Amino acid sequence: MNNKIKNNLKSLIIVIIAAMSFFSALSPEYCAAFSQSEVDGFFSENAGVFSEWYVIGLRQNAEGEIYDFSNYRAALLEYMEKNETVSASTRLKYALSLAACGNEDDINYINEILCDAYGKQGLMSYVFSLHLLNNGFECDGVGAEALVEKLLSFQLEDGGWAVFGANGDVDATAMTLQAFAPYYEENADVTTAVKKALALLSERMSEEGDFSSYGVYNCESTAQVIIALSALGIDCGNDEAFLKSRTSPVMALEKYRIDGNDFSHTKGGEKSHIASSQAFCASVAYERMKSGKGPFFVFDKIDPSIFETETPAVETACPVPETASPITPKGDKQQSEINVKTWICAGIVAMGGIICIVLIVAGKRNIKNFIVVLVIVAVGVGAVLVSDISLPEDYYGNETEQKNIVGSITLEIKCDTLGKPPVLEKTSFDIEAGDTVFDVLTRAAKKHGIHIEHSGTTAMSDSLAYVSGINYIYEAQYGDLSGWVYFVNGQKPSVGCGEYVLKDGDRVEWHYSLTMGNDIVK
């Protein structure tokens, strides 16, 4: 009895000492978080480059400190604006980081990214999408349960996940497990899958406690495993399965530390921001697990009032209309077209009159001079009378009267290639006999207040029409070969949009292409 108590005490003391030494070894540096000025300065400058992990880590810090990410958020939004063609996974990562900033204005934008990039780029895009869903973002037709099943179906024979290949990759497996964390205990399928994956990770761990990806033992893989295990509630500092020769992944990570918050990619290597940021996340995740907080990628709720009291940052970036910003008709609709034309004609005639007076004053009173002025004025007035001129109030938001409707078609204007939401969702329009693609486009623009620019048209004929810009997105704006192309029933016609005559039931799509239409997958 006495012995037993002694033994118990002994083991308790050992555990306490071990724990104390462990914490004394880890805690001081591990808790070395970053200051608000670093968030506003260094991290904001590198928004979109490597700051994302840091920001997520800071948002989730175990001490419950609250940072103001508004500077970083502005920088990231600007970065995303400038770098259009980032991959789907990267955009989802940015979305997650925006979500970490916690600004409510971004909710719709993040939802849009989720809808747009969901599953576009294999495993990683599913994983990040699931993270976003776990944080309450949503998109029609994307359910968390379906996504979990999808990810489960990707599990390889050996229990792991990989971006490509038949063998599980440590990083991919760990990152998938991180997304599974909220379902670990609820969903039986997930539980079995995770257990299998954990077995694989345990097997893949080196004697020194670190992990490799593509044959190289590195800091990032180890960090990802720590995040995954911590999210699942496994204490990888003490878990049997992850203690080989008494070194745990947490200790292994220490070996990559250079100084303070700096880590290297491989042991003894140079400082790497990617390694440092992921190691920072690992430390945060581990701390969270220790203090019993939720999974790393499910953001803690922040009282929104904190953000409301803050003064808004000075808007320096010029906003570009992301979505279709309809030109809203305003003012009364009483003014008729004739009124505008009369004013313009009066202006031209007045200019002619001024020139005539100048001629008289200058002493060039030959009758032929006045005839020339008269002819020029007549041509000007004629051009005005022939053109269709109307005020925007009268023009936009109105339906064109149609008499001989012969059927209806659907029209869609998309710019997926830029990762932007569609300018016009699939909408159906009635057509008259002889209506061309161009006619329908102008009618749609008129009705929905969409900006378009075209050339080659006259008041008489549109057969040479060329559409150079829709919704302020212009040809050649994103590379020499970029521009608007149209498809009818999935085919790219070889005639101009002013010549293609539509028939009932046609499906017209306008796409912004970066390579003269070759990148639009049908």
Specify the length of the chain in residues: 522
CA–centroid distance for 120 within its chain: 12
202 vs 325 by CB, closer to other proteins = 325
115: three-class secondary structure by DSSP: helix
Evaluate whether 349 touches 381 at the Cβ level (below 8 Å).
yes
Evaluate whether 171 touches 213 at the Cβ level (below 8 Å).
yes
Q: Extract the tokens encoding 485.
A: 């192309």
Distances (CA, A) of 293 to 27, 55, 64, 107, 243: 17, 18, 10, 24, 23
Closest contact distance (angstroms) between CB of 45 and other proteins is 13
47 vs 445 by CB, closer to other proteins = 445
Closest contact distance (angstroms) between CB of 390 and other proteins is 5
Residues of the shown chain interacting with other proteins in the complex, contacts defined by CB under 8 A: 314-316, 318-321, 325, 327, 340, 364, 366, 368-369, 372, 387-392, 395-396, 442, 445-446, 451-454, 457-459, 469, 472, 474
Evaluate whether 217 touches 206 at the Cβ level (below 8 Å).
yes
Closest contact distance (angstroms) between CB of 217 and other proteins is 43
Backbone angles phi, psi at 333, to 5 degrees: -100, 20
143 vs 392 by CB, closer to other proteins = 392
Closest contact distance (angstroms) between CB of 325 and other proteins is 7
Whether the CA torsion 205, 211, 216, 217 is positive or negative: it is: negative
Beta partners for residue 474, in sequence order: 469
In SS3 terms, 118-153 reads as CCCCHHHHHHHHHHHHHCCCCECCECHHHHHHHHHH
Closest contact distance (angstroms) between CB of 311 and other proteins is 15
The angle at the Cα of 404, spanning 424 to 449, to the nearest 5 degrees, equals 25
Question: For residues 470 and 2, what is the distance between their CA atoms, to the nearest angstrom?
Answer: 86
110 vs 502 by CB, closer to other proteins = 502
Question: For residues 6 and 182, what is the distance between their CA atoms, to the nearest angstrom?
Answer: 41
Q: Please spell the DSSP secondary structure of 450-496, one letter per residue.
A: --EEEES--SS--TT-EEEEETTEETTTTSTT-EEEEEETTB--SS-
159 vs 496 by CB, closer to other proteins = 496
Other Cβ atoms less than 10 A from the Cβ of 405: the count is 12
Beta partners for residue 82, in sequence order: none
1 vs 314 by CB, closer to other proteins = 314
CA atoms within 13 A on the CB side of 448: 24
Closest contact distance (angstroms) between CB of 335 and other proteins is 12
Residue with tokens 């599913």: 126
Closest contact distance (angstroms) between CB of 445 and other proteins is 8
353: three-class secondary structure by DSSP: helix
20: three-class secondary structure by DSSP: helix
121 vs 457 by CB, closer to other proteins = 457
Helices (H), 181-218: 188-204
Residue with tokens 């008041």: 459
Question: For residues 425 and 100, what is the distance between their CA atoms, to the nearest angstrom?
Answer: 30
